[in-house]
Amino acid sequence: MWDQIQGSWKQMSGKAKEQWGKLTDDDLTQIAGKRDQLAGKIQERYGYAKDKVEDEIKSFESRHGG
């Protein structure tokens, strides 16, 4: 499922920005659809624990991954 998100990251980055508003446009460009990069940036911007980040990304993935 993540492959679909990564493949259409330009469109998905807007959805990511809606969910994680603290991510900057530069962050989203740097992430470039890479799941591990997204997780790291969410942890950095929000101070979330790794398991919370995983839960949020899985939720995002299930809603937007197809």
Tally the domains of the chain: 1
Q: Residue 15: pLDDT band by 50, 70, 90 thresholds? A: very high
Q: Mean pLDDT, to the nearest integer, of 4-9?
A: 94
- Please work out, in degrees rounded to the nearest 5, the angle formed at the alpha carbon of residue 53 by the alpha carbons of 52 and 54: 90
What is the pTM (predicted TM-score) of this model?
0.92
State which residues form the domain around 31.
2-64
- C-alpha 6/C-alpha 1 separation (Å) is 9
Q: pLDDT for 19-44, tens place per residue?
A: 999 999 999 999 999 999 999 999 99
Between CA 4 and CA 13, with CA 2 as vertex, the angle to 5 degrees is 75
Predicted confidence at residue 66, as pLDDT, reads: 62
Tell me the CATH number at 18.
1.10.1470.10
